[in-house]
């Protein structure tokens, strides 16, 4: 049986390398923050007859919005006109937006509104705070719960895994420059919930095996045994959840594409940290903290 605990350095190294690349990317190209974070507006329209980017831009220029991003609803670069147009502007007040939209009607013809989103600057900065608060609050709750049901060292090992998961998702979003919106926060928290779920299943096994743990057996070996006993479950659950997430990712439509992607990355990372990092971390903390003799008596067994 391959020892995960003995090879912990390798698993840690993989994580560290990945996160270094991600953090490098965060410094180099930062994040692609959507209007939920930065403020601004998105206007998604379907015109009665095809229009071109330059036609739309001409109208926007009259409102000092010439630098807006204009996308046609087609991925074919040979086609220069389309009925579907997506406009992204900076922060815009409501009167200005209405003026632009009525101008679009009078100059380019009637359209159907698919979506209009308009977010002020204050909302954006609040969302960043709220997101950070949500993630940290969830960590604190997990620490309290795991300390209550298991012990503090389990909680610390689990949380380190969660911090890594959240960082990994952030890394991916920076690396591929994917747009982040308010649903991103929801995805992050789901990842936190999922990852700690997997970690607890393994810790639960460790807790159970501690009851019959003999002094002759090395703590690391016992942790290894526990991880391997849960391996089928870990893999199966990851697979079935990934089926679901991949279905959302592929077929759920553009609106929740990035939401699904965040979960896809986060669940994969959650599987990795739960399976390969949390257990070894606990063993290290445990071995450093106290003499292995006292392991059995000191561990709260539920």
Partner 1 sequence: MRWDNMTKFLGLVVAIVVSFGFFIKPLALTVKQGLDLQGGTHVVLQAVETPNAKVDDDALNRSVKIIERRVNELGLTEPVIQRQGKDRIIVELPGVKDPEKAIAMLGRTALLEFKDMSGKTVMTGNDLKDSKATVGQNGKPVVGLDFSDEGGKKFALLTSQNIGKQISILLDGEVLTSPVVNEAITGGKAQISGSRNVEEAERLAILLRSGSLPVKLEMLENRTVGPTLGQDSKDKSVKAFAIGLAGVFLFMAVYYRASGVVADIVLLFYTLLLLAIMRALNATLTLPGIAGIILSIGMAVDANVLIFERFKEEIQSGKTLRSSIEAGFSRAFVTIFDSNITTIMAAAVLFYLGTGPIKGFAITLALGVVISMFTAVTITRYLLRFLVASNISSNPAFYGASAPKKEVRK
CB of 173 to partner 1, least distance (A): 17
Q: 71 - beta bridge partners? A: 86
Q: Hey, what are 190's tokens? A: 């789901």
Q: Hey, what are 39's tokens? A: 């403020």
Q: How many of the other CB atoms lie within 10 Å of CB of 98? A: 11
State which of residues 85, 192, 223, 283 lies at the interface with partner 1 (CB under 8 A): 192
Smallest Cα–Cα separation from 59: which of 105, 92, 13, 123? 105
CB of 27 to partner 1, least distance (A): 28
Interaction of residue 138 with partner 1, rule CB under 8 A: yes
Interaction of residue 145 with partner 1, rule CB under 8 A: yes
Residue 180 in 3-state DSSP? strand
Residue 69 or 116 with smaller CB distance to partner 1 = 116
Interaction of residue 115 with partner 1, rule CB under 8 A: yes
Total binding residues for partner 1 by CB under 8 A?
68
Smallest Cα–Cα separation from 85: which of 65, 57, 127? 57
In DSSP notation, 189-223 reads HHHHHHHHHHHHHHHHHHHHHHHT--TTS-HHHHH
Residue 24 or 48 with smaller CB distance to partner 1 = 48
Distances (CA, A) of 41 to 132, 201, 280, 281: 23, 44, 47, 45
CB of 205 to partner 1, least distance (A): 8
Residue 85 or 119 with smaller CB distance to partner 1 = 119
Interaction of residue 198 with partner 1, rule CB under 8 A: yes
State which of residues 30, 125, 130, 292 lies at the interface with partner 1 (CB under 8 A): 130
State which of residues 252, 290, 292, 294 lies at the interface with partner 1 (CB under 8 A): 252
Instruction: Report the greatest alpha carbon distance in the chain.
Output: 85
**H-only helix segments in the chain:** 8-29, 35-38, 53-61, 94-108, 121-149, 152-175, 182-211, 219-229, 231-251, 257-272, 279-289, 295-298
Per-residue string for binding with partner 1, 206-245, x by CB under 8 A?
Answer: -----------------------xx-xx--xx-xxxxxxx
Interaction of residue 301 with partner 1, rule CB under 8 A: no
Applying CB under 8 A, the residues found at the interface with partner 1 are 44, 46, 93-94, 98, 101, 112-120, 122-123, 130, 133-134, 137-138, 141-142, 145, 149, 182-183, 185-186, 189-190, 192-194, 196-198, 200-201, 204-205, 229-230, 232-233, 236-237, 239-248, 250-253, 255-256, 259-260, 263, 302
């Amino acid at each position: 049986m391959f020892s995960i605990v003995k090879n912990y350095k390798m698993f840690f190294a993989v994580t560290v390398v990945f996160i270094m690349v991600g953090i490098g990317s965060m410094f180099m190209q930062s994040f692609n923050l959507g209007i939920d974070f930065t403020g601004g507006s998105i206007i998604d329209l379907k015109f009665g007859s095809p229009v071109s980017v330059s036609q739309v831009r001409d109208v926007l220029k009259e409102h000092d919005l010439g630098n807006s991003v204009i996308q046609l609803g087609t991925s074919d670069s040979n086609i220069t006109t389309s009925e579907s147009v997506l406009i992204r502007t900076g922060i815009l007040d409501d009167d200005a937006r209405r003026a632009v939209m009525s101008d679009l009607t009078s100059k380019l013809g009637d359209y159907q509104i698919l979506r209009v989103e308009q977010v002020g600057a204050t909302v954006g900065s609040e969302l960043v705070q709220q997101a950070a608060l949500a993630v940290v609050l969830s960590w604190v709750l997990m620490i309290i719960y795991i300390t209550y049901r298991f012990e503090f060292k389990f909680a610390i090992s689990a949380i380190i895994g969660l911090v890594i998961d959240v960082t990994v998702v952030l890394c991916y979003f920076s690396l591929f420059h994917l747009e982040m919106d308010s649903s991103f926060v929801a995805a992050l928290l789901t990842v936190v919930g999922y990852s700690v779920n997997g970690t607890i299943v393994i810790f639960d096994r460790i807790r159970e095996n501690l009851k019959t743990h003999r002094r002759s057996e090395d703590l690391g070996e016992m942790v290894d045994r526990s991880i391997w006993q849960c391996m089928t479950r870990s893999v199966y659950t990851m697979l079935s959840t990934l089926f679901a997430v991949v279905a959302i990712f592929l077929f759920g439509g553009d609106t929740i594409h990035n939401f699904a992607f965040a979960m896809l990355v986060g669940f994969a990372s959650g599987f990795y940290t739960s399976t390969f990092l949390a257990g070894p971390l606990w063993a290290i903390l445990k071995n450093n903290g106290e003499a292995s003799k006292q392991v059995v008596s000191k561990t709260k067994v539920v």
